Amino acid sequence: MHVIQRGNNRQACFFSDDDYRCYLEWLGQASRDAGCNIHAYVLMTNHVHLLLSAQDAGGVGGMMKALGQRYVQHVNRVYARSGTLWEGRYRSCLVQHDLYLLSCMRYIELNPVRAGMVDHPGAYRWSSYRCNAQGEADELIQPHAVFTALDADPRARAERYRALFQNALEPGEVEQIRTATNGNYALGNDRFAAQLASALSRRVTPGRAGRPSKHPDVPASRDLFESD
């Protein structure tokens, strides 16, 4: 599952290095308690991306609730503020892992590059790129089977993963991931979508083209350092 949680009104939700560190520490605790494995992440100034797998259907919701509440309490206490920090409930999409997982990992870890914050994903501190692509230790990351299948040797695996970043994601790939996640749709091929729709008894793909979308998470313009 690819998860996005944004700051309320697209305002900042991280204000210092300690905030990022606290969030990652509590994300690790909450994910373990909820039976979730984190495969990739990036913490942007005003939103968060996570790619994860859950052992049961309620795992992600439980993890995000516990993490969100604890982090909001931290921010309100440290910065003497009150009120909401997050923009409602998180957005998410189910990912067809054999076809889209690696693309989704790249989408997440390239977010600081698309936002113009850095020229290379390895230059950004608050993401999983250094772990997945450079082999640095990160207790938060639990590699997905699709990722480990790149090579049995960890060094060779990181090298092969880095090679995927030599070319940018195609605009169509970026838009597909963005649309699926913001709309809580399926990220996969037609067969995958049909299987999910049958299992969930609801639509998991966008409807037919019509009036312009008024979805609050698909703005006409994007703030500096926000990306997607």
Q: Please give the DSSP secondary-structure letter assigned to residue 150.
A: T
pLDDT at 198: 80
pLDDT at site 20: 98
- State the pLDDT at residue 213: 41
pTM (predicted TM-score): 0.88
Residue type present at position 100: Y
Beta bridge pairs of residue 95:
187
Instruction: Provide the pairing of β-strand 2-6 with 36-43.
Output: unpaired
**Looking at domain 2-200, which CATH architecture does it have?**
2-Layer Sandwich (3.30)
209 near 182, Cβ under 8 Å?
Answer: no
Longest dimension (CA), the chain: 50
Q: Strands 2-6 and 47-54: what pairing?
A: antiparallel
Question: Running along the chain, 228 residues long, what does each successive block of 10 average in pLDDT?
Answer: 94 97 98 98 98 94 96 96 90 90 97 96 98 97 97 97 93 92 84 77 67 38 47
Q: What is the pLDDT of residue 227?
A: 61
The pair of three-digit structure tokens given for residue 172, joined into one six-digit string: 């169509």
Q: Where are the domains of the chain?
A: 2-200
Four-point Cα dihedral 199, 57, 72, 118, nearest 10: -70
